[in-house]
């Protein structure tokens, strides 16, 4: 992402931030920081606009959102240019991570909306079946505050915003202050597709603006970012009993079994650790390889990592997006070296003015090193030899994070057995990172990696209140258990217990 500097404020006292390119540190943009008063005003507009948007119905909202696919396709070059200016990521990665995934999410969620959000009748069980009918209606929550990060600035803004809009909510988006225009494109294309201006709005600013949005009169917070900020949001929401989802990063482990296809595993280890310069929440940050195949695996990884190109222009890998991230990666590598790890490839910031770090392979990493316990978020393959798969599972679970993980083996059944023992939000076989792009898969972390889930079959409903409506079938004068109580009331209830739940046939009938 861009390098952020404070600059003199406006005449009205508004704070301003300047953005410099991570490629060569040249100035690229400036933004004004929205204060609490502006946040409140924007939320008030969203509140006023939301009922009209909800009243348009699921089918009409879905049609508007589906038309946004055409807008995205038409404006893709402008979006890619903006993403590259703010992050420096290569064009291929901008296409893969931001544009293709964005088109897919828009198309998928707009197609699912009518099925997932339509009111439906729910069959009742047992003795209630002849007496009542149950319907479930999905009511929008109101105004959703979406706060998004810098590593996937367009797609990680688009996905929750689209889900919330389809569910009938209005949305206020606060993208990262270091990729503001990339996030802003989400609002621009949705408005161009026909979403009313006040139904989807963007606020620019830093943590001060994000905190003001969380504290504003909104109805849910959807946040992707750091654990520290996530804790603050959770505490603030708890005071108001406000629902939230938090996706807070990870320290994902990759297990390489003795029967793995080592060429695929090595290629995956390099790509899945270095794609997006390693700045992906599901990036492979720890690799545990069974000792019997470790030598060959390390040889293949070293060979492939050494061939990865980086730097300005047509290279495989772009810069780190943030100057602070360069400092984190450097500290982790220096700590690993000091504690005995072998740096087989790279290991240093690249020469020049940009935020480039060499593709790096670390062999002999241990859990005494920050590289294996703290989120690195950089282009580093960190490898640990293990005795067997049981030790790999134990070490993979030895983390305060639990976002995702991967298992490389030729045996799919083994992959599922290992997955069942991993304390992590998701597991991928012979791949990694891709799970967020699988719209049907519920995505969310365990432990410090987050609270709640996005995507999956409940994604759109997560931005609604499922309201059960129980309808009386017969409209009798009163229910059998209403006042006044009588001997007949008691006999009827005892009969239900004795002949219904007290016999095997009765329990089966009432289940």
Give tens-digit pLDDT for 46-55. 999 999 999 9
What integer is the mean pLDDT of 339-343?
Answer: 98
Catalytic residue among 184, 237, 281, 375: 281
The whole-number pLDDT of residue 19 equals 96
Q: Judge whether 485 and 492 are in contact, CB under 8 Å.
A: no
Q: How many residues are recorded in the chain?
A: 511
The whole-number pLDDT of residue 125 equals 92
Domain ranges of the chain: 22-249+456-465, 252-440, 478-510
22-249+456-465 fold: Aldehyde Dehydrogenase; Chain A, domain 1 (3.40.605)
What integer is the mean pLDDT of 265-280?
Answer: 97
Structure token pair of residue 489: 């009331």
Query: Could you give the angle at which helices 155-166 and 101-117 cross, rounded to 10 degrees?
Result: 20
Per-residue pLDDT at 403 exceeds 60? yes
State how far the alpha carbon of 114 is from the alpha carbons of 28, 38, 61, 428, in Å.
Answer: 42, 35, 9, 30
What integer is the mean pLDDT of 133-154?
Answer: 97
**Given CA atoms 419, 421, 422, 424 in this order, what sign does their dihedral have?**
positive
Per-residue pLDDT at 1 exceeds 60? no
For the structural domain made of 252-440, what CATH number should be given?
3.40.309.10
The whole-number pLDDT of residue 10 equals 87
Share of residues in the chain with pLDDT > 90 (%) = 93
What integer is the mean pLDDT of 420-448?
Answer: 97
The answer to whether residue 247 is catalytic is yes
Q: Which tens digits make up the pLDDT trace of 46-104?
A: 999 999 999 999 999 999 999 999 999 999 999 999 999 999 999 999 999 999 999 99
What integer is the mean pLDDT of 10-37?
Answer: 94
The whole-number pLDDT of residue 323 equals 86
Does residue 45 come out as left (phi exceeding 0), alpha (psi in the -120 to 50 range) or beta?
alpha
The whole-number pLDDT of residue 221 equals 98
Catalytic residue among 247, 285, 375, 448: 247
Per-residue pLDDT at 445 exceeds 80? yes
Per-residue pLDDT at 494 exceeds 60? yes
State how far the alpha carbon of 419 is from the alpha carbons of 72, 404, 413, 415, 427, in Å.
Answer: 37, 10, 10, 6, 6
Q: Work out the number of other CB atoms within 10 angstroms of the CB of residue 5.
A: 12
Per-residue pLDDT at 456 exceeds 60? yes
Dist CA 364 CA 362 (whole Å): 7
Dist CA 410 CA 99 (whole Å): 32
The whole-number pLDDT of residue 322 equals 81
What integer is the mean pLDDT of 292-313?
Answer: 96
Q: Give the CA dihedral 229, 234, 240, 245, nearest 10 degrees.
A: 100
What integer is the mean pLDDT of 171-198?
Answer: 98
What integer is the mean pLDDT of 496-501?
Answer: 93
What integer is the mean pLDDT of 397-414?
Answer: 98
């Amino acid at each position: 992402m861009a390098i952020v500097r404070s600059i003199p404020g406006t005449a009205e006292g508004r704070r301003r931030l300047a953005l410099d390119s991570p490629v060569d540190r040249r100035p690229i943009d400036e933004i004004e920081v929205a204060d609490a008063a502006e946040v409140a005003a924007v939320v008030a507009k969203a509140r006023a606009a939301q009922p009209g948007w909800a009243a348009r119905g699921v089918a009409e909202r879905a049609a508007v959102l589906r038309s946004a696919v055409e807008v995205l396709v038409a404006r893709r070059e402008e979006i890619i240019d903006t993403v590259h200016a703010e992050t420096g990521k290569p064009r291929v990665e901008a296409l893969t991570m931001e544009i293709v995934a964005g088109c897919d999410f828009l198309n998928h969620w707009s197609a699912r909306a009518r099925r997932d959000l339509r009111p439906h009748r729910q069959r009742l069980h047992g003795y209630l079946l002849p007496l009542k009918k149950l319907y479930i209606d999905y009511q929008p929550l109101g105004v959703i505050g979406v706060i998004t990060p810098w590593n996937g600035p367009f797609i990680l803004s688009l996905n929750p915003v689209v889900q919330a809009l389809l569910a009938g909510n209005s949305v206020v988006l606060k993208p990262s202050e270091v990729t503001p225009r990339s996030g802003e494109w989400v609002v621009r294309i949705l408005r161009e597709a026909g979403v009313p201006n006040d139904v989807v709005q963007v606020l620019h600013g830093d943590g001060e603006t994000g905190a003001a949005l969380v504290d504003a009169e909104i109805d849910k917070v959807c946040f992707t970012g750091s654990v520290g900020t996530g804790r603050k949001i959770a505490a603030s929401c708890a005071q108001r009993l406000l629902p939230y989802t938090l996706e807070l990063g990870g320290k994902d482990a990759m297990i390489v079994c003795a029967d793995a296809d080592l060429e695929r595993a090595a290629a995956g280890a390099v790509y899945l650790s270095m794609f997006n310069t390693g700045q992906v929440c599901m990036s492979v940050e720890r690799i545990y390889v069974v000792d019997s195949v470790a030598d060959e695996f390390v040889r293949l990884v070293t060979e492939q990592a050494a061939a990865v190109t980086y730097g300005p222009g047509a290279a495989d890998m772009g810069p780190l997006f943030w100057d602070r991230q360069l400092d984190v990666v450097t500290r982790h590598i220096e700590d690993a070296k000091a504690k005995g790890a072998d740096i087989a490839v790279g290991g240093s910031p690249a020469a020049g003015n940009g935020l480039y770090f060499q593709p790096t392979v670390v062999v002999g990493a241990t859990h005494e090193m920050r590289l294996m316990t703290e989120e690195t978020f950089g282009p580093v393959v960190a490898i640990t030899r293990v005795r067997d798969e049981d030790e790999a599972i134990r070490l993979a679970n030895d983390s305060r994070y639990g976002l995702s993980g991967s298992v490389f083996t030729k045996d799919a059944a083994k992959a599922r057995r290992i997955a069942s023992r991993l304390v992590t939000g998701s597991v991928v076989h012979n791949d990694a990172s891709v799970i967020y792009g699988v719209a049907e898969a519920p995505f969310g972390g365990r432990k410090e990696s987050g609270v709640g889930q996005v995507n999956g079959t409940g994604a759109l409903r997560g931005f609604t209140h499922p309201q059960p409506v129980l309808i009386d079938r017969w409209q009798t004068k009163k229910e059998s258990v209403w006042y006044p109580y009588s001997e007949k009331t008691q006999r009827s209830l005892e009969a239900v217990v004795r002949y219904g739940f007290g016999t095997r046939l009765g329990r089966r009938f009432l289940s």
